[in-house]
Amino acid sequence: METIIGNDIEQAAKFLRYGALVAIPTETVYGLAGNALKEATVLNIFHVKERPVFDPLIVHVKGIDDIHRFAKSVPADAEVLMQKFWPGPLTILLQKQQLIPDLVTSGLNTVALRMPAHPLTLALLNELDFPLAAPSANPFGYISPTTAEHVYDQLQGKLPYILDGGPCSVGVESTILGFENDQPVVYRIGGLPVSEIEKLIGPVSVKPNASSNPRAPGMLKSHYAPSKPLYFEKEENLALMNLSGNGALICFENFKTDLPFRQFPLSRDGNSSEAARNLFATLRELDKSDFDFICAIPFPDEGLCKAINDRLLRASQ
C-alpha cells in the first residue's frame, strides 16, 4: 500500500469513511486513527500497531456536546474539567455506552474520551459522523511520533494516509483521569499538569503504575522505549556506573558536569514546554545515531517535567 503524506482533510475523511486508517496530528502526539464504531477497523488499528487487544484505545471526539452518545453519565468534576481544558491534552474515563464496541475498551466498562486541540484534526472530526479511536501512531512499546515523518518512518505501507499537521505543540501524551467511587484519579501523567487539574477540582490521587492498575495495561512499565540502552539516573549514579562507549546525555538545560557524554539539552533556557516538545524527537534521533547508549538525568519534579520524568523512566525499563 502506498502511504501519502498530505494535509487534505477531504481525502483523509474519505479514507476513514471507507474504514481505512489515517494518522492524525494532535497537540500531544500523532494518532493512528480509525472509525471507533466499526469493529473491523478497530481490529486493524491493533494489528497495524502490533498492540495487544487487552490495551484499550482512546476515542477522539469533536466536542463536549457529543459525549453523551458515548458516555452514560458524566460526573460534575468531569464536566468542569472538560469545559476548562477541552480541546486539550486531557483524556477522561467515563462509563461507556453500548455504541462503543467492547474491542475499543478491551472489555472495560469505561471509555477513554478526548477532544484533541489541533485545527486539522478538529476539522476532520467535524467532517465525520463517527468518533476516531486512535492510539499513538508508533509500533507498540516504541517512542511516540511527534511529526508526520516519524509516523512515515515506522508505518509506511501500512496505512494509506498521514495527515500532516506539523510538529506537535505539546509533545507528550494526554493526561488520563478517571473516577473511583466518584473520586478523581490520574492514571497517566501527561500534557496537562496535575497541578492545573487540582486548581479546579481540588486534590486528585495519582496512580500511574500498571502494577497498581492492571486494568489499564497501557500504562505498562516499559514503554516509549528506544532500541538502544537508556540509563535514567541521577548524575552521581551515572558517574558510578562506569559506562564504557560513546554516550549521549539528555538533560533539561546545559549544565556543568564531569560526565564524559555529549549533552543534549531539551531546552537551553530551562523551559518545560519546550523540553516536552523536544523529548520524543530527541530520543528518536539519538536512537538512530552512532551513540552506543543514551543517558538521561531526572528533570525538576514539577509541571510538565513530571511527564518527561515519567516517560524517561518507562523508556529506561
The span of 62-70, 148-156, 210-218, 303-311 binding ligand TXA (CB under 6 A) equals 210-218
With CB cut-offs between 5 and 8 Å by kind, which of ligand TXA, Mg ion, none does residue 121 bind?
none
- Measure the CA angle with vertex 49, ends 112 and 298; round to 5°: 70
**How many CB atoms within 10 Å of residue 120?**
19
| Binding test (CB under 6 A) with ligand TXA, winner from 12, 42, 82, 93 | 93
d(CA 306, CA 133): 26
Hey, which residues between 129 and 188 contact ligand TXA (CB under 6 A)? 134-136, 173-174, 176, 187
Interacting partner of 281 out of ligand TXA, Mg ion, none (Cβ under 5 to 8 A depending on kind) = none
Q: Which three cell numbers stand for residue 215?
A: 486494568
Select 26 or 282, whichever has its Cβ closest to Mg ion: 26
Rule CB under 6 A: is residue 45 a binding residue for ligand TXA?
no
* 5 backbone dihedrals φ, ψ, rounded to 5°: -105, 125
Question: What does the alpha-carbon distance between residue 101 and residue 104 come to, in Å, rounded to a whole number?
Answer: 6
Residues 72-91 within binding reach of ligand TXA (CB under 6 A): 91
Which of 13, 22, 37, 57 lies at the binding interface for ligand TXA (CB under 6 A)? Answer: 57
Residues 39/19, Cβ–Cβ less than 8 Å = no
**193 lies in the site for ligand TXA, by CB under 6 A:** no
Half-sphere exposure of 41 (CA within 13 A, CB side): 24
Beta bridge partners of 252: none
Task: Decide whether 19 or 217 has the Cβ nearer to ligand TXA.
Answer: 217
Residue 44 within binding range of ligand TXA, rule CB under 6 A: no
Q: How far apart are CA 309 and CA 56, in angstroms?
A: 24
Q: Which residues bind ligand TXA (CB under 6 A)?
A: 26, 28-29, 31, 55-58, 91, 93, 105, 108, 110-112, 114, 116, 134-136, 173-174, 176, 187, 216-219
